[in-house]
A and B are shown apart, each in its own frame.
Chain A
Amino acid sequence: MRKIIKPCGLHCIKINHLGVAFGEQEILRDINLHIHCGSLNAVIGRNGAGKSTLIRAVLGDIPHTGNIEFKDRENGRIQKMKIGYVPQSLNVEKQTPVSVYDMIAAYQSRVPVFFMRGKKIRRQIQEHLKIFEADYLIDKQVCNLSGGELQRVLLSMALMDSPNLLLLDEPVSGIDRNGMELFYKTIYELKESYDLAVILISHDLEYVRRYADKVVLLEGTILKQGSVKEVFGSTEFAQVFQKEEEEN
């Protein structure tokens, strides 16, 4: 993978008192997070703990209380934060006539994809796909990609705007163990080589243990956050995942 920028370690993203409610039902309350660039932050928790809601709130897809600050520690200036997002899945069924070019251009360009192919945007897309060795996929149909290929394409797309923060919803299906290993390695290299912070929603504790810099245990609110050791060794962690095992 090509290296573009070394992380400077000077940016940080602060999420202050974030809360989300749908009508009467409170999904998230008082979430406080402090995230540095160049760090891989894993959010773990049971199903329904509000992990995906957290991502949607940070993206501005659903209304939330509290605020999100993006700070440049060098001059303390607050600027607009750019967020890259890698969703867990896409709404594509078999036979959907959407090529990788169509998909990325739809999000990133104004050149109408139903009518023509923009040379400039095509070149840009190809360059970004190359980062993840996925440039040969550009004319393939999105519905025919394997789980791993789709992840690489989505990652390339998320990086096109040079985001400060990368939000990832870890894929739960369609990827085998090798693919998962590769996925985590890629994310790890990414945060090492780019000037960005990563928030990863994870369902696999083993990978979190090996790759995350910081772990956030979520259950409506943050039960525990800190290094892998701190969180995995905590009583809160034991309670949440013991309960889950019992339910299973």
Chain B
Amino acid sequence: MEWFSWLHYDFMKYAFLAILIITPLFGLMGTMVVNRKMAFFSDALGHSALTGIAVGVVLGVSNTNVSMAVFAVIFALLLNQISSRVAASTDTVISVFSSFSIAIGLAILSKGGNFSRYSSILVGDILSITPEEIWYLAVIFAITLFFWTLCFNKLLAVSLNRTLARSCHIPAAWMENLFAVLTALIVMVSIKWVGILIINALLILPAAASRNMSANMREYHFFSIVFSVFSGILGLVISYYVNVATGPAIVILASMIYFITYWWGRRYNI
């Protein structure tokens, strides 16, 4: 079994398991993030992780994962509220709040020249994941599947036309907020392994690639998950042999898939 020699190491086994959970999850969520044009929103959410840690440090919380998740959920709900109320265009509003929050995070964390302690979160390191942390991922995976099965139709309905959804008694605001909170939680649970700088790419690329060649929601989800899992596993293996960070290897593969599907979609006029 020369082919699977990389699985001899425990850290590779754990990383492999983690990727088997994270990538389908991102493939799934990405479909709606792309459909609802929330790429910028999820990007801002990723950046807010730093602020979450900073808030935890200031408040003296022992587990900064908790402060990070709580802050991200509040931040996501706030962004949702503000972008539906303020007249300025959504991306401007998100940009303002995102910049503000990341600046606060950086300011606090860099106080006394200590930022290097936190810089690992920028790139992420999936090889350092522990079995216990894989369980967290599994739990959020189960929650997402449950939510998706129950609420996906309603989410799609709201994204196509909010007023029409309301006329069918779909609680539009609830759906939007639940989706934002779930996205926030998923991003926060996986950010330590994937890294702030590329987490959004993982969320967007597989869905965007799938969009290039899908005609309906089943194809869209299927291809998005397949692309995500494929680039995840292959990226891990390549990073092992070539000795580069895993996250970027995955993103490079996912981008290549995007370019290929873009070309394919144009050629066959999808």
Which A residues have a C-beta under 8 Å from some C-beta of B? 55-56, 59-61, 83-85, 87, 89-92, 95-99, 101-103, 105-117, 139, 141-142, 161, 167
Contact = CB atoms under 8 A, between A and B. Distances in A.
B163 A98 contact: no
B216 A139 contact: yes
Interface string B199-232: 0000000000011101111111100000000000
Contacts of A102: 156, 216-217
Contact of B152 (A56, A87, A98, A113): A113
B162 to A, nearest CB: 7
A106 B153 contact: yes
A113 B160 contact: no
B162 A112 contact: no
Interface in B145-180: 148-149, 152-154, 156-157, 159-168, 170
Contacts of A116: 218
Given A96-B35, A98-B216, A141-B216, A112 B153 contact: yes
- 4 closest A-B pairs by beta carbon, nearest first, are A97-B214, A99-B216, A97-B220, A106-B156
A113 B156 contact: yes
Contacts, number: 99
Contacts of A59: 163, 166-167
Contacts of B153: 105-107, 109-113
A35 B60 CA distance: 64
Contacts of B218: 113-117
Contacts of A113: 152-153, 156, 216-218
Interface residues of B, number: 33
B31 interface: yes
Given A97-B215, A114-B152, A61 B163 contact: yes
Interface of B: 31, 35, 148-149, 152-154, 156-157, 159-168, 170, 210-212, 214-221, 265, 270
B215 A141 contact: yes
Nearest to A163: B167
Nearest to A60: B166
A101 to B, nearest CB: 7
Contacts of B164: 85, 87, 90, 107
B162 A98 contact: no
Given A59-B167, A109-B153, A114-B220, A90 B161 contact: yes
A99 B160 CA distance: 12
A20 to B, nearest CB: 14
Contacts of B220: 97, 114
A85 B163 contact: yes
Nearest to B270: A95
B166 A115 contact: no
A55 B149 CA distance: 31
Contacts of B214: 97
Nearest to A103: B160
A115 B157 CA distance: 16
Nearest to A83: B167
Nearest to A86: B164
B162 A61 contact: yes
A99 B162 contact: no
A97 B161 contact: no
Contacts of A105: 153
Given A107-B168, A109-B153, A87 B161 contact: yes
B157 A106 contact: yes
B149 A115 contact: yes
A109 B149 CA distance: 12
A107 B157 contact: yes
Contacts of B154: 106
Contacts of A141: 215-216
A52 to B, nearest CB: 9
Contacts of A117: 218
Contacts of B157: 106-107
A109 B153 CA distance: 8
A108 to B, nearest CB: 7
A42 to B, nearest CB: 20
Contacts of B160: 90-92, 98, 103, 106, 142
A92 B211 CA distance: 13
A32 B220 CA distance: 47
A102 B167 CA distance: 18
Contacts of A90: 160-161, 164
A101 B153 CA distance: 12
Contact of A91 (B152, B161, B217, B219): B161
A76 to B, nearest CB: 26
A112 B149 contact: yes
